[in-house]
């Protein structure tokens, strides 16, 4: 079968591969693949020789900035460090709800009473009695100096 230019075509429309051009392309592709594989292996061996150093610890005095998301209120500031725990104060109100407040060394009786009253309101006489009782417990457990009275 001949075309209009006089060249012969094989039946089925397949290309004539007898010229060897494709063999050169294929040989180049195999050589390139072998070279890339050798480079990857060499890089892998080179990485294995270096010992990874642990990341430097962050300094605690420098807070990390975290951008706020819209609609989310900002986080409260961190609490200052407090002394060791002395005791846990449990107050049961007239309604039966129990309010628990942890008292630390260095806390004042007035501050502890304010925290209890913020969660469970009470009458002024009861409030002053609670403040005196907290003051006595702090002194008894070695909580430091006694703050002035109300």
CATH topology (fold) of 85-140: Ubiquitin-like (UB roll) (3.10.20)
Pair of tokens at residue 49:
């020789």
Measured from the Cβ of residue 117, the count of other Cβ atoms closer than 10 Å reads 17
SS3 assignment for 8-63? ECCCCCCCCCCCCHHHHHHHHHHHHHHHHHHHHHHHHHHHHHCCCCCCCCCCCCCC
pLDDT of residue 49: 55
pLDDT of residue 90: 93
Domain ranges of the chain: 85-140
Do residues 144 and 138 lie in contact, with contact meaning Cβ atoms separated by under 8 Å?
A: yes
pLDDT of residue 78: 66
Burial class (CB in 10 A: 0-12, 13-18, 19+), 51: exposed
Which stretches of the chain drop beneath a pLDDT of 50? 146-150
Closest CA to 127 of 141, 106, 112, 137: 112
DSSP assignment letter at 86 = E
pLDDT of residue 43: 86
Structure pTM?
0.44
CA 127 distance to own-chain centroid = 42
């Amino acid at each position: 079968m001949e075309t209009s230019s006089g060249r012969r075509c094989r039946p089925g429309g397949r290309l004539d591969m007898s010229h060897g051009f494709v063999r050169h392309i294929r040989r180049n592709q195999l050589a390139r693949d072998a070279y890339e594989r050798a480079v990857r292996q060499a890089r892998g061996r080179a990485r294995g020789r270096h010992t990874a150093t642990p990341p430097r610890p962050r300094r605690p005095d420098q807070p990390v900035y975290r951008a706020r998301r819209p609609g989310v209120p900002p986080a409260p500031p961190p609490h200052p460090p407090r002394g060791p725990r002395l005791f846990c104060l449990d107050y049961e109100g007239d309604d039966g709800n129990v309010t628990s407040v942890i008292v630390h060394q260095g806390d004042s009786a007035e501050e502890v009473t304010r925290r209890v009253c913020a969660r469970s309101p009470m009458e002024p006489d009861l409030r002053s009695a609670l403040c005196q009782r907290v003051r006595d417990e702090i002194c008894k457990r070695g909580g430091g100096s006694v703050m002035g009275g109300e």
